[in-house]
Structure 1
Amino acid sequence: MKRIEVEKRTILIGLAGSHGYGLNRPESDYDYRGVFIAPKRYYLGFDQIEQKDSDWDEVGIFSFLDGNKDTVIYELRKIIQLLAGANPNVLELLWLNHYPVLTSVGQYLINHRKIFLTKKVKHTYSGYAFAQIKKMETHRKWLLNPPTKKPVPSDFGIEDEAPLSKEELNAFLEYLYNLVKGKIEYLEKAETLYKLLTADIDFKAILKQYTLPDETLEYTQKLTNSRKDFIRLLQKSQSYQIALREWKAYLSWQENRNPVRAEMERKSGFDLKHGMHCIRLLRSGLEILRTGELIVDRRIAGDVNELKAILRGDYSYEQVMKMATDLMTEIQKVDEESILPEKPDLEKVNELCIKLVEIQGWDD
């Protein structure tokens, strides 16, 4: 859809990112997030759209978006799905302080925002925080012990045959995931395990991100009816592709680092921004579980100065990791005591989505 078409049917746009958190600096970019309701043909026809995240140099209505590359406006059904899944980056959109665009339909969505707050936030906020930790650890490893050469198949014992490609690996692991899921789906005693692998964690992503451990190879071979030599090649190819992916990420990191951020990272020994966001996410998740409210602006939450101190490098890597560990432990405890529902009421969520579309109407 053209920018102007999206903006005509936009129900809200909020100022997110560092400005939303109260952590912005003079040089900080402006991050805008919004919601629009697509016209009839996208609901009843074959056309599809999930979000508008580019081409902000087109003719539009809202001049403050002109040329802004840090803008995403989600289609209603897409954002409702993300909200129901307790996506941290999307949940905060309904709790911002500043909305340059807010229609009555957008306000109606905000008025019903609490139906999206559930105990799912324990997993999503902790998961997003853990992703920040992994980035910190990766960058720290690159700082202290940078890779010296591009990996080759022979480094992983692949000598006389070609390694499996990324596409071949992903196809096999998708097949493996469905076999594992099918094995436990109808076993009553495995109900908790099935929920873990299909709802609580992204098991498919884990399969594709890490090399299969040795102790799983025999079972994988039998489950997939594969040859032993193929399974060994699979494992070696995974290790090679993961190393290759990390090498490419290292080169990209070197080439695209912000010079100021890179210098701070060099002095402190870790990525300060990832450290700050890790702590922010964990504290936000903890607040939701404890109070049933989401506080985006950290000036209101009262920890803005401490988060800024992390960004300045006032805390060591070890201190930030200790903060994260303590917060993870506290989240586990508070989750057990929280009065939030385990999951969203999907019937209410569906009714809200329908109501918003009805209020907006079908006119282009």
Structure 2
Amino acid sequence: MEPFWDKNLILKVRSGSQAHGLATAESDLDSRGVCIPSKALLLGLETFEQHESEGGDHVIYALVKFVRLALEGNPNLLETLFTEGDDILFVHPYGERLIEHRELFLSQCVGERFGRYAIHQLTKLQRHYGWLTNPPEREPHPSHFGATPNEHGFDFPNSAAERQYRGEHKRWRSYLNWRANRNKKRARLEEEFGYDTKHAMHLCRLLKMGQEILATGEVLVRRPDAEWLKEVRSGRFTYPELLEWSRAQEERLGQLMATTHLPPEPDRDQAQTLVIELQEQALRDGFI
């Protein structure tokens, strides 16, 4: 029996590197979609927010959650609304109405959210770079922080020492987990270039897309700068050059947030009206 998230689908698009024009022969086929849940889930005691395939390559969101996250400027969901041409895999008339209203999701929040996603990529890149260049030599032990053993464990000299130990031990576990589950493709990039250039490519893409949206109001999913971004993935920047470039682009993003013509906040009332109308129409039409 076909699951309702497929049966009630209103929009499905190609996502990830395939949609950005950055795919390699090894790239996964990713997709992202929107559905209207069944009548029971829409009106009853149970709810539905999203379905994710094993591995996370294919995600389908309930309309309500999709709109809520898009209003927050979530980059992945904004891209879903602004995907064009053959990268739109399926669209129902309800999905077409959603796309027709995509401009209402653009606001100054977009700059902040794209910047936050970029910083997340940079943080991962810096953490992995540290593990590559200066890996921890041994597991932290309470005694290294002045703790003495007792019958239940250890007594720390103060709460600051205990917090420091717990923080270092958490980082140690993260390092072991990274080393044990290290992505082989990423490992090859790190060995060749000294850092994860795929993280770097996504960092650059997010910063440039955030700037474009704030400056022009356009969301260019299929990247006009794809060749440049591929060069980044191929080691265009040294690690210090990447950090310097990123700092400059973050500063530029902040400047654009102060001068953009986009509204400070998206029109939540209009978005709510759209969601209500679409779901009421789906009920009247017997779509769900």
TM-score, structure 2 normalization: 0.91
Whether 1:77 and 2:47 are equivalent positions in the alignment is: no
Aligned length: 283
Return closer, same or farther for 1:106/1:144 CA change in 2, 3 Å cut-off: same
Aligned counterpart for 1:343 among listed residues 265, 275, 284: 265
Task: Determine the C-alpha separation between the residues in 2 that align with 1:287 and 1:163.
Answer: 55
Whether 1:146 and 2:146 are equivalent positions in the alignment is: no
Q: CA deviation at 1:340?
A: 0.4
Task: Determine the C-alpha separation between the residues in 1 that align with 2:212 and 2:162.
Answer: 43
Residue by residue over 1:189-241, the C-alpha shift from the partner in whole angstroms, topping out at 9 and shown as x without a partner, is xxxxxxxxxxxxxxxxxxxxxxxxxxxxxxxxxxxxxxxx99x52x4444333
Whether 1:246 and 2:171 are equivalent positions in the alignment is: yes
Aligned counterpart for 2:241 among listed residues 309, 312, 319: 319
Return closer, same or farther for 1:121/1:237 CA change in 2, 3 Å cut-off: farther
Partner residue of 1:93? 80
Q: CA deviation at 1:163?
A: 8.5
Higher helix share: 1
Unmatched 5+ stretches in structure 2: none
1:1-364 to 2 correspondences below 5 Å: 4-54=3-53, 69-97=56-84, 98-160=87-149, 232-233=158-159, 235-298=160-223, 302-361=224-283, 363=286, 364=288
Residue by residue over 1:113-167, the C-alpha shift from the partner in whole angstroms, topping out at 9 and shown as x without a partner, is 1111100112111111111111111011001011122223333344357789xxx
Return closer, same or farther for 1:117/1:263 CA change in 2, 3 Å cut-off: same
The residue type paired with residue 125 of structure 2 is M
Return closer, same or farther for 1:163/1:348 CA change in 2, 3 Å cut-off: farther
Task: Determine the C-alpha separation between the residues in 2 that align with 1:350 and 1:290.
Answer: 27
Q: CA deviation at 1:321?
A: 1.5
The 3-state SS of whatever aligns with 1:100 is: strand
Unmatched 5+ stretches in structure 1: 56-67, 165-228
Residue by residue over 1:35-70, the C-alpha shift from the partner in whole angstroms, topping out at 9 and shown as x without a partner, is 111122222211122100136xxxxxxxxxxxx751
Return closer, same or farther for 1:153/1:50 CA change in 2, 3 Å cut-off: farther
Task: Determine the C-alpha separation between the residues in 2 that align with 1:163 and 1:133.
Answer: 37
Task: Determine the C-alpha separation between the residues in 2 that align with 1:258 and 1:79.
Answer: 29
The residue type paired with residue 93 of structure 1 is T
Higher strand share: 2
Task: Determine the C-alpha separation between the residues in 1 that align with 2:153 and 2:36.
Answer: 46
Residue by residue over 1:257-277, the C-alpha shift from the partner in whole angstroms, topping out at 9 and shown as x without a partner, is 233321221221111011111
The residue type paired with residue 151 of structure 1 is P
